[in-house]
Amino acid sequence: MACVGESNGLTFWVAEQKDYEDVMSISVNIYGGNDYLPHRYSDWMTEPDRVVILGRKDSKLVALESGFVVDEGRTLLVEGLRVCASERGRGVAGEIQRFADQYMQQLYPTLRTKRQTMSDYHSSESTKSLAKFTELGRRAILSFTGDGKSFNGFISHLKNKLNSTTGLDKAVSVQQMVPLEDAHHLKNILLDPELPKRVQLPGGVIIQDWQPFQPIKGNLEILARRNLTWLVNKLEKPNFLSFYTPPYPIAFDGGSLRFNIDMFGTDLDSAKRAFVSHFEKVMEKGLLTGKIMIHVFLDQSLWKEMKEFCAGETGLKLWREYWEQVIMERDVRGGAEGKRESNM
Ligand SMILES: CC(C)(COP(=O)(O)OP(=O)(O)OC[C@H]1O[C@@H](n2cnc3c(N)ncnc32)[C@H](O)[C@@H]1OP(=O)(O)O)[C@@H](O)C(=O)NCCC(=O)NCCS
């Protein structure tokens, strides 16, 4: 593969499968062991409309950023940004981002907007880059660790809690959320223009495991590829929507599975039921074994009560206190903004 650009002592390359080990070597300890890239790298190499850019200094890999074109060609989703530990704090992240933005705009002249998600935990370190973005919205993140072995007991415990709060007899199973298994139903719900308001999509986007997409036709195929398991509180005009992403391996605690549940809507009862239903489903499939890291992404108003709901003598241990996912956008059409940046 040929070099695609250079700037300030860095050369830029389009990543290939053979770069996997190099990429892993600059990814050690990223996101507290929660890094998704070891698992996703191969898929990224073949995903349509995705380009992964590598930055090298001499021949050594020092940085990576991925650009993924979504929203029917209008939006550049940037992900995976990382710089090797020895080169941090010297502006390398800025260099690779500037190059990747311009490279992607050349390949996809329809691009209008750049979007990214990040945790509020990183925000304070990146105020300068954040200042160029508009914040679209935020969600709270409830993060637990647990052991697959204890989950049957844990889920029975939660079901009992749900039954007792709804006054149902313990023998009666709790009212389930409605699975959305039919592609036609799912499509109608996602493309309903009222959806963003009814389920309070933050910034009007559906965020799937940190990837924010507008609920439009061109993104349905991307979501379908992700093999998600969807639930709504009702089929007609739902005001609560949730899905889980199939658990995948991460480095945390010597090797764990990461289980992400995304929720949209503010109804606490639906959030509790969705949590239990997702767990039941994923356990039926035998997908939660060994050490598990669970992240539930949800409306800020639900965090505290969901944390209390999940607290119990068995099951999950809170991994981190309240934290948030932030969704940000900026215009990429150059002009005045581009000029301002070069004068800084
Ligand atoms: C965050 C990280 C990529 C920053 O790399 P760096 O080269 O040390 O960054 P610097 O502090 O030298 O900042 C250089 C530029 O990158 C920007 N930047 C820093 N962190 C950023 C972030 N998280 N998102 C976007 N831009 C960021 C800075 O604002 C600065 O921009 P400028 O050149 O336009 O002024 C690096 O610390 C890293 O790899 N951390 C581990 C992985 C990670 O947390 N990635 C962030 C995902 S959101």
Query: What's residue 171's pLDDT?
Result: 45
Asked if residue 126 has its Cβ within 6 Å of ligand 1, the reply is yes
Q: Which of 71, 93, 111 is the last residue of a domain?
A: 111
The mean pLDDT value of the chain amounts to 91
Count of beta carbons in the 10 Å neighbourhood of residue 109: 8
Q: If you measure from the C-alpha of residue 150 to the centroid of ligand 1, how many angstroms do you get, rounded to a whole number? A: 39
Same domain for 182 and 272, yes or no, is yes
Same domain for 251 and 178, yes or no, is yes
- Report if residue 317 sits inside a domain: yes
Burial 265-285, CB ≥16 within 10 A → b, else e:
bbbbebbbbbbbbbbbebbee
Residue in the block written with tokens 């505290």: 304
| Span 155-160, average pLDDT | 90
Separation of CA 59 from chain center:
32
- Report if residue 129 sits inside a domain: no
Same domain for 182 and 301, yes or no, is yes
Same domain for 107 and 150, yes or no, is no
Query: What's residue 220's pLDDT?
Result: 97
Which residue among 37, 64, 83, 98 is best mutated to probe the pocket of ligand 1, counting the most ligand atoms within 8 A of its Cβ? 83
- Report if residue 173 sits inside a domain: yes
Q: If you measure from the C-alpha of residue 31 to the centroid of ligand 1, how many angstroms do you get, rounded to a whole number? A: 13
Q: If you measure from the C-alpha of residue 53 to the centroid of ligand 1, how many angstroms do you get, rounded to a whole number? A: 15
CATH code of the domain covering residue 57:
3.40.630.30
Same domain for 151 and 273, yes or no, is yes
How many domains does the chain contain in total? 2
Same domain for 36 and 146, yes or no, is no
User: 277: domain range?
Assistant: 138-327
CA dist., res. 171 & res. 126, Å (int): 52
pLDDT in tens, 101-141: 999 999 999 999 999 999 985 555 555 666 789 999 999 99
What atom of ligand 1 comes closest to residue 119's alpha carbon? 48
Lowest-confidence range among 268-282, 284-298, 329-343?
A: 329-343
- Report if residue 333 sits inside a domain: no
Asked if residue 129 has its Cβ within 6 Å of ligand 1, the reply is yes
Same domain for 106 and 156, yes or no, is no
Asked if residue 10 has its Cβ within 6 Å of ligand 1, the reply is no
Same domain for 291 and 198, yes or no, is yes
Same domain for 81 and 146, yes or no, is no
Amino acid at 3: C
Q: If you measure from the C-alpha of residue 94 to the centroid of ligand 1, how many angstroms do you get, rounded to a whole number? A: 7
- Report if residue 266 sits inside a domain: yes
Same domain for 202 and 296, yes or no, is yes
Same domain for 50 and 157, yes or no, is no
Asked if residue 84 has its Cβ within 6 Å of ligand 1, the reply is no
Same domain for 82 and 220, yes or no, is no
- Report if residue 283 sits inside a domain: yes
pLDDT at 339 over 60: no
Which residue among 126, 130, 135 is best mutated to probe the pocket of ligand 1, counting the most ligand atoms within 8 A of its Cβ? 126
Q: If you measure from the C-alpha of residue 101 to the centroid of ligand 1, how many angstroms do you get, rounded to a whole number? A: 15
- Report if residue 233 sits inside a domain: yes
pLDDT in tens, 296-334: 999 999 999 999 999 876 778 999 999 999 999 999 886
Task: Give a three-class secondary structure readout of 59-121.
Answer: CEEEEEEEEEEECCCCEEEEEEEEECHHHCCCCHHHHHHHHHHHHHHHHCCCCCEEEEEEEHH
- Report if residue 344 sits inside a domain: no
Among 185, 219, 183, 224, residue whose Cα is nearest residue 201: 219
Q: How many Å is the Cα radius of gyration of the chain?
A: 21
Q: Which one has a higher pLDDT value, 174 or 178?
A: 178
Query: What's residue 311's pLDDT?
Result: 86
CATH code of the domain covering residue 176:
3.40.630
Q: Per DSSP, which regions of the chain are E strands?
A: 3-7, 10-14, 50-57, 60-70, 75-83, 113-119, 134-147, 178-179, 206-208, 211-213, 229-232, 241-250, 256-264, 291-298, 317-331
